Structure 1
């Protein structure tokens, strides 16, 4: 197992060596279905890891890229907001973009609002950490805020690009976190709208997205999801000290954590339903904030144990498959699991920094 410092350095190198010249972080440089595309969700967390590592320039370039992508869609957002009535999903902004900032040319599960909230949180957090002037990205921020305040409550695909018919608690958490983070930098009607949407998203999640004292996968569900800890840290939908937060972390751990590796959800058949490194880091991040340093370190060590020989972190590993009979189908369809996944590397940097062991 590589040392934490060595794997952190390798993670930073993997991220920055694959960063596009225009600033985008590719989801994975080798995986057939991800190659050539960048997501706001993946990239937002990856940029947070790089920012925590101290590489301001790389994170700046990513946020510059997102800003350009969003500014180019100012007119589209204005048209959507003024359309009135139901807007077809196909007209919404996509969840992933080419490195040049274009929409993808092949079909995808595109309508996902969480990434726009995640980016708002990431760019504000980065700017505050390094004392940067947020006005550098103001135009793109305003597009994201206007888009979310208009469409935050619509059903859409979740983090895993499934169930477009549902309203997902992790999505509501990301929207709340992003709008709350940027609120001090807004003014006038935009600030009023952002505060209203953030409060409404939180109220909806806590009234219809809680069962048996813990957050659930989507409104009205009884299942949990490995992304739910993000509603606590970093997005603050519920405070770390809130009993709902403690119950959510405990239920996710009991249902989805095996030996330090975290599954997405019990019904997951993607590559057989393996354990995701980034979700292990997310749960570890939450445990660290909740005061369980030993638990957080357990997750950090588990991630390091699953690095490849050259220090690359995959998307998931097949140690404890939930549905092993489904694995071959995905191998035949898309080839080996995405390796490296830049989001995995970004999350490793976040957790290592949270534990104070980056250097």
Structure 2
């Protein structure tokens, strides 16, 4: 794929955006290691999500910045170490036959110093804990690092997921707490399989149960469904294939899922979250376009993956910053103004968008080489 772009103006543009994406992410990384979701957006400012941050850390790791990604994993480890007693209490409650409330569970987002948010949020989401396990193992394997550096936090995440993996919770988009979401189960599966060689807990048994549950209840019309027992699709479902491996690339289920997401949610390179999405009118999300492109690249459709990367690059503003979503082909345009009135204009830059761009650019082999200083740990 590089040969077709060799030293062209377009290759320069794509590499420049990779450099800028690295700069945006590292500029806004908190001194303690957290990656803020978006540094200026009213509803996200001052908070870090494990889901957003783990994908962002993977992009930074792929770019070659070992130190920045390591600081993020250090931050998560510290946050989870301090949650040891909370997880032990939750597990003890379950052992007594009690059902902890959603409010008692670990949050999905943290302040930069690792505390809960002070304002109400849709906080009970388990995917980020599985996602972090996958991300920290992947980063350590890439650079030959010892996982013992993060072992205490890893054990907290594992204990939490083993106890609560099958409990309904909010999805990636902080909606539908009443359901068990396939993308959430995929993230937990990927994290448990990745960490299995490094922990004493029997996490592979849990992973096998997750896969069996999804096969039994999470497939409709030959594709993965948004939640168990449903039939709709979601733009996050490709993650169950790449990177989490709940469904292996090349399986018929993988191909049908990608084709259905592309048919129902993708237009001109942009990918919607789901058909009923009214958030800012239901625009096209940069990070989901990159996720689909990542899957296309692994499946061997590098031309299709490059089209996704080009589309993403076209959405950067005059400063080179990538937003959360763009208002092309809005699914529900009548709802856009109410969100602008509530929270202001769309989050820009969204660090997760920049992190996913780095992942896809690296997958296609066009990421600019990071400075040697960036690679020092």
Place the TM-score, normalised by the shorter chain, in its bin. Answer: over 0.9
Q: TM-score under structure 2 normalisation?
A: 0.93
Match for residue 172 of structure 1?
A: 185
Q: Does 1:131 align with 2:140?
A: no
- Structure 2: stretches of 5+ with no match in the other structure: 1-9, 369-377
Aligned to 1:39: 49
1:52 aligns with 2:62: yes
Deviations 1:206-233 (A, max 9, x none): 1100011100000111100000000000
The count of aligned residue pairs is: 355
Q: Pick the aligned partner of 1:328 from 337, 342, 357.
A: 337
Corresponding residue number in structure 2 for 1:105: 118
Q: Is 1:341 the equivalent of 2:350?
A: yes
CA–CA separation in structure 1 for the residues paired with 2:67 and 2:208: 33
Moved more, 203-212 or 54-63: 203-212
Quote the Cα distance in structure 1 between the aligned partners of 2:198 and 2:240: 22
Task: Give the Cα–Cα distance (whole angstroms) in 2 for the partners of residues 333 and 199 of structure 1.
Answer: 43
* Mapped pair 1:264 → 2:273: yes
Q: Does 1:292 align with 2:301?
A: yes
Matched residue SS, 1:266: coil
Q: Secondary structure at the match of 1:97?
A: strand
Corresponding residue for residue 11 of structure 1: 21
For 1:310 and 1:43, locate their aligned partners in 2 and report how far apart those are by CA, in whole Å. Answer: 22
1:133-161 CA-to-partner distances (Å, cap 9, x unmatched) read 11000000000000000000000000000
SS in 2 for 1:165: coil
The answer as to 2:40 corresponding to 1:30 is yes
SS at match of 1:38: strand
The alignment partner of 1:77 has SS state of helix
Kindly state the Cα deviation for residue 241 of structure 1 after the two structures are TM-superposed.
1.0
Q: Give the Å deviation of 1:203.
A: 1.0
Structure-1 separation of matches of 2:320 and 2:211: 39
1:73 lines up with 2:86 in the alignment: no
Q: CA deviation at 1:87?
A: 1.1
Aligned equivalent of 2:255, options 246, 250, 256: 246
Alignment of 1:183-332 (within 5 A): 183-187=196-200, 190=201, 192=202, 194-332=203-341
User: 3-state SS of the aligned residue for 1:3?
Assistant: helix
**Cα distance in 2, alignment partners of residues 341 and 206 from structure 1:** 34
Superposition pairs of residues 82-97 of structure 1, within 5 angstroms: 82-84=92-94, 85-97=98-110
TM normalised by structure 1 equals: 0.98
Q: List per-residue Cα deviations over 1:265-314 (Å, max 9, x = no partner).
A: 00000000000000000000000000000100000000000001110000
Partner Cα separation in structure 2 for residue 93 and residue 266 of structure 1: 29
Q: Secondary structure at the match of 1:200?
A: helix
List 4+ stretches of structure 1 deviating above 6 A.
Answer: none
SS state at 1:124 partner: helix
Question: Whole-Å Cα distance in 2 between the matches of residues 206 and 294 of structure 1?
Answer: 31
Give CA-to-partner distance per residue, 1:330-359, whole Å, 9 cap, x none.
Answer: 000000000000000000000000000102
* Unmatched tracts of structure 1, length 5 or more: none
**Which residue of structure 1 aligns with residue 7 of structure 2?**
none
- Within 2, Cα distance between the matches of 1:257 and 1:154? 30
1:153-180 CA-to-partner distances (Å, cap 9, x unmatched) read 0000000000000000000000000000
The RMSD of aligned alpha carbons is 0.7
- 2:168 maps to 155
Deviations 1:228-258 (A, max 9, x none): 0000000000000110000000000000000
SS at match of 2:271: strand
The DSSP-based 3-state class of the residue aligned with 2:124 is coil
Whole-Å separation in 1 of the counterparts to 2:250 and 2:242:
11
What CA distance in whole angstroms lies between the structure 1 residues aligned with 2:60 and 2:181? 28
Pairwise CA distance, 1:201: 1.1
